[in-house]
């Protein structure tokens, strides 16, 4: 029995199992007094334009209950925040763990042969030295392993990190930029732990169908920490590095978050929002005003894919019920001793509104399929198992099949439909504009350039392909619920 068959066999729980597991999972952890949130170490490569990463095994005591085996880059869990600027960057990634890994640069606009997808495995003891040709505006991107069928388990164990593309001009923009002081990097993940502090992964049917979600918030690899901030305007760079959880983020006292950047970089001007939804793979940068000195928390509503609302046809009332169970993502404590550098919000930024007025060459319709229509659902609930794989437009991922051939510099209209759940859809090596969500104007968070979008029924994109990818090293498009990706909800495309 191979691994995938095993996963699907264990998914064949009865209806009672489904009902019981549907309700698990929002007992989020308490704050540990005196534990201050640490940033991932900053590896500033803007001068040298070169860096080295090593995938290494380690152990991490997340909970105080014991060391859990983990994997990280240059450390035991997660990796450093890599800061780079435009130009050529020499990277060297070596693999010191006992299985192949890759390093995909999520959000970087670089050719397929630098992309680090499933066709570029680094064997144990080997290394990979791509020259990254960075040409895009400032943005918060990230890097993570993308090995075929092992992405979810490796990212869960810690193989991910942040990459910031910088042009050194944030002072002119009026944006806080002191790393870890008024410019905080927050990698949001959820995990489950046992009484010995060991991470629990893939336990039940819901983990397979919804993707893995935990009951404990882990921010920058830390549980129960408090972020210390000065009494002024603070920049929060938020990355959803979770395997499957979709966050609906807000401040606990309903103060506004001023959105300044999305996946592709800066917006033309800040957008004031009370709530920001952040699906796996997405990034936002927001400014929050702490000048009233009050302690406040970043909180989230429940995952819209959790509970019967997600599985059983997405009944809005049930979804609202589950959304009412709020949990703390990270608490903030204002420290008046820290010097305040920013007291007002910038009026404008220099991001450009996407204006995709060129000719649309092709319209493609893609469906994100869970291979489980109502009939399959019933069979699954009756205990006969769900052996269908996940797919895009009916086809499960195949390393040897090119699904789409795109032309460089042209626009394509992609109309993506989701099946059963909301799926975060990511395209490698390209940026897109969200044109419509279910026939309507998209949500304000989707007004900038994006590389990952949450598809809740039907989403229309205009995609601009600017980077070359051959059939030997093609780009991927996939669901960023990592268990769905590994189970086949992925395709590949070339750009010529």
Binding site for Cu ion (CB under 5 A): 423, 479, 481, 484
Cβ neighbours of residue 149 under 8 Å, at least 6 residues apart? 3, 4, 486
CB of 144 to Cu ion, least distance (A): 16
Q: For 245-303, give the DSSP string.
A: PPEEEEETT---EEEEEETTEEEEEEEEES-EEE-TT-EEEEEEE-TT---EEEEEEPP
CB-wise, 328 or 367, nearer to Cu ion?
367
- What span, in angstroms and rounded, lies between the C-alpha atoms of 409 and 398? 26
Query: Residue 271: CB partners within 8 Å, gap ≥ 6?
Result: 258, 259, 444, 445, 447
Dmax over CA atoms of the chain, in Å, equals 62
If we measure between CA atoms, which residue out of 461, 470, 464 comes closest to residue 495? Answer: 470
Q: Which is nearer to Cu ion, 147 or 416 (CB)?
A: 416
**Closest to 103 measured CA to CA, from 90, 118, 88, 89:** 118
CA distance 420 to 312: 8
Half-sphere exposure of 418 (CA within 13 A, CB side): 26
Distances from the Cα of 362 to the Cα of 22, 31, 435, angstroms: 40, 51, 15
Nearest distance from C-beta of residue 10 to Cu ion, angstroms: 19
- 118 secondary structure, DSSP code: T
Looking at the Cβ atoms of 134 and 479, the one nearer to Cu ion is 479
Cβ proximity to Cu ion, 286 vs 377, nearer residue: 377
Distance in Å, CB of 283 to Cu ion, minimum:
18
List residues bridging with 258 in a β-sheet.
272, 287
For 475, phi then psi, to 5°, come to -85, 160
Identify which of residues 224 and 380 has a Cβ nearer to Cu ion in the complex: 380
Nearest to 62 by CA among 194, 203, 212: 194
C-alpha 110, offset from chain centre: 19
Q: Cβ of residue 423: shortest distance to Cu ion, in angstroms?
A: 3
- Report in angstroms how near the CB of residue 392 gets to Cu ion at its nearest: 10
What are the tokens at 24? 């698990």
Cβ of residue 455: shortest distance to Cu ion, in angstroms? 9
Beta carbon of residue 257, minimum distance to Cu ion (angstroms, whole number): 26
Nearest residue (CB) to Cu ion, 290 versus 397: 397
Query: How many residues are recorded in the chain?
Result: 496
Q: Which is nearer to Cu ion, 304 or 479 (CB)?
A: 479
The nearer residue to Cu ion, 144 or 484, going by C-beta atoms, is 484
State in angstroms the smallest separation of the CB of 480 from Cu ion: 7
Measured at CB, which residue is nearest to Cu ion?
A: 479
Q: How many C-beta atoms surround the C-beta of residue 335 within 10 A?
A: 13
Which is nearer to Cu ion, 132 or 479 (by Cβ)?
479
C-alpha 369: how far from chain center: 20
Distance CA(214)–CA(290), nearest Å, equals 30
The CB-of-426 to Cu ion minimum distance in angstroms stands at 10
């Amino acid at each position: 029995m191979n691994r995938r068959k095993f996963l699907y066999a264990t998914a064949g729980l009865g209806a009672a199992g489904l009902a019981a597991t549907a309700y698990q999972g929002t007992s989020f952890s308490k704050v540990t007094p005196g534990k201050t949130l640490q940033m991932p170490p900053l590896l500033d490569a803007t001068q040298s334009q070169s860096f080295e990463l090593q995938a290494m095994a380690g152990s991490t005591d997340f909970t105080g209950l014991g060391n859990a085996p983990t994997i990280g880059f240059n450390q035991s869990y997660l990796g450093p925040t890599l800061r780079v600027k435009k130009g050529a960057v020499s990277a060297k990634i070596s693999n010191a763990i006992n299985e192949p890994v890759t390093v995909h640069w999520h959000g970087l606009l670089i050719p397929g042969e630098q992309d680090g997808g499933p066709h570029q495995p680094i064997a144990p003891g080997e290394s990979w030295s791509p020259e990254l040709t960075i040409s895009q505006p400032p943005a918060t991107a990230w890097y993570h392993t993308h090995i075929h069928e092992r992405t979810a388990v490796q990212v869960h164990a810690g193989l991910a990190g942040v990459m910031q593309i910088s042009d050194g001009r944030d002072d002119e923009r009026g944006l806080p930029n002191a790393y870890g002081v008024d410019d905080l990097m927050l990698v949001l993940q959820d995990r489950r732990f046992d009484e010995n502090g060991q991470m629990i992964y893939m336990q039940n049917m819901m983990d397979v169908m919804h993707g893995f979600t935990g009951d404990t918030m882990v921010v920058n690899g830390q549980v129960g920490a408090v972020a210390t901030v000065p009494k002024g305007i603070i920049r929060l760079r938020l990355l959803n590095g979770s395997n499957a959880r979709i966050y609906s983020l807000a401040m606990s006292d309903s103060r506004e978050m001023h959105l300044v950047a999305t996946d592709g970089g800066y917006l033309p001007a800040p957008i004031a929002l009370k709530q920001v939804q952040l699906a796996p793979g997405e990034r936002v940068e927001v400014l929050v005003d702490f000048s009233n000195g009050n302690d406040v928390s970043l909180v989230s509503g429940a995952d819209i894919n959790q509970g019967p609302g997600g599985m059983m046809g997405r009944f809005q009332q049930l979804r609202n019920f589950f959304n009412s169970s709020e949990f703390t993502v990270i608490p903030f404590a204002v420290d008046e001793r820290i010097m305040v550098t920013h007291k007002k919000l910038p009026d404008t930024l220099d991001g450009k509104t996407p204006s995709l007025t060129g000719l649309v060459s092709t319209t493609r319709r893609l469906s994100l399929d869970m291979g489980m229509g109502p009939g399959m659902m019933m069979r699954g609930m009756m205990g006969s198992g769900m052996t269908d794989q996940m797919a895009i437009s009916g086809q499960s991922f195949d390393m040897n099949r090119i699904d789409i051939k795109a032309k460089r510099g042209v626009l394509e209209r992609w109309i993506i439909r989701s099946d059963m759940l909301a799926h975060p859809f990511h395209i490698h090596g390209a940026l897109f504009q969200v044109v419509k969500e279910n026939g309507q104007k998209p949500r304000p968070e989707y007004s900038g350039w994006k590389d990952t979008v949450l598809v809740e029924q039907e989403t229309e994109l205009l995609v601009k392909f600017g980077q070359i990818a051959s059939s030997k090293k093609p780009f991927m498009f996939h669901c960023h619920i990592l268990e769905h990706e590994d189970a086949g909800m992925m395709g590949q495309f070339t750009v010529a």
